[in-house]
């Protein structure tokens, strides 16, 4: 039995959930999200102002999709009410970020500046030249954009230079001995 799948997803006030075949649409104050689920494996219904997910049978794929579907719907509800955000820190001498319209300009020690085009539905803020805040209503997109920015210069273990998540711990190594 899925411990996550068993829990119903509460629908807060101001949020509208529609189930149309294999598609779940969630509309809230911050926007609208839509996702398709595996209709032949799980059954999604609305009961007592809560979204309930049940497996259609007791097979392994159905039980796997059960918890996944519930988590995806819960993330959609949280996204349209509160939204998601990831904070990135830039560590290194001369490393900085700058916002130019919808583009993020990164100086990361390369011979050229890195220009990252921010996708639709995602907002990027640069409160300080060494901080980047990625926010949006879609948890997957926010995480993907943050990972793509981090991938330009991941933190290295010797000096800790690079782009890291704000809550990330970098395991530091000792340098070469003589």
Query: According to the model, what pLDDT value does residue 18 have?
Result: 92
* Range scoring the smallest mean pLDDT among 10-14, 36-40, 122-126: 36-40
- Each residue of 27-37: pLDDT tens digit? 999 999 999 98
Starting at the edge strand found earlier in the chain, the sheet holding 16-20 runs 16-20, 23-28, 31-36
Confidence class for position 1, pLDDT limits 50, 70, 90: low
Q: Which domains does the chain have, with CATH numbers?
A: 3-81 (3.90.930.12), 84-165 (3.90.930.12)
Query: According to the model, what pLDDT value does residue 177 have?
Result: 86
Residue 26 and residue 33 in contact, taking contact as beta carbons nearer than 8 Å? yes
SS3 of residue 150 by DSSP? helix
Residues 161-175 have a mean pLDDT of: 92
Strand partners, 122: 136
pLDDT at 2 over 90: no
> What's the rounded Cα separation, in Å, for the pair 90 and 164?
6
Residue 27 and residue 15 in contact, taking contact as beta carbons nearer than 8 Å? yes
Query: According to the model, what pLDDT value does residue 117 have?
Result: 95
Residues 42-58 have a mean pLDDT of: 91
Exposure string for 73-95, b = 16+ CB within 10 A, e = fewer: bbbbbbbbbebbebbbbbbbeeb
Query: According to the model, what pLDDT value does residue 29 have?
Result: 94
- Each residue of 82-137: pLDDT tens digit? 999 999 999 999 999 999 999 999 999 999 999 999 999 999 999 999 999 999 99
* Range scoring the smallest mean pLDDT among 36-40, 68-72, 96-100: 36-40
> What's the rounded Cα separation, in Å, for the pair 76 and 94?
38
> Around Cβ 65, how many Cβ atoms within 10 Å?
22
Residues 133-146 have a mean pLDDT of: 95
Residues 43-49 have a mean pLDDT of: 91
Whole-model pTM: value is 0.89
Query: According to the model, what pLDDT value does residue 12 have?
Result: 92
Question: Residue for token digits 């998601």?
Answer: 84
């Amino acid at each position: 039995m899925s411990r996550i799948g068993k829990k119903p997803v509460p629908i807060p006030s101001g949020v509208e959930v529609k189930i149309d075949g294999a598609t779940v649409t969630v509309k809230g104050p911050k926007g609208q999200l839509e996702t398709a689920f595996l209709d032949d494996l799980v059954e999604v219904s609305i009961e007592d102002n809560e979204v309930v997910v049940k497996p259609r049978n007791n097979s392994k794929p159905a039980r796997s999709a059960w918890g996944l579907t519930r988590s995806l719907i819960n993330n959609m509800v949280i996204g349209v009410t509160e939204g998601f955000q990831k904070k990135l820190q830039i560590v290194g001498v001369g490393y900085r970020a700058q916002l130019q319209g919808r583009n993020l300009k990164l100086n990361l020690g390369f011979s050229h500046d890195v220009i990252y085009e921010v996708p639709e539905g995602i907002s990027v803020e640069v409160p300080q030249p060494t901080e980047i805040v990625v926010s949006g209503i879609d948890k997957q997109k926010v995480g993907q954009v943050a990972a793509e920015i981090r991938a330009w210069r991941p933190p290295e273990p010797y000096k800790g230079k690079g782009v890291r998540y704000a809550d990330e711990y970098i395991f530091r190594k000792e340098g070469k001995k003589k």
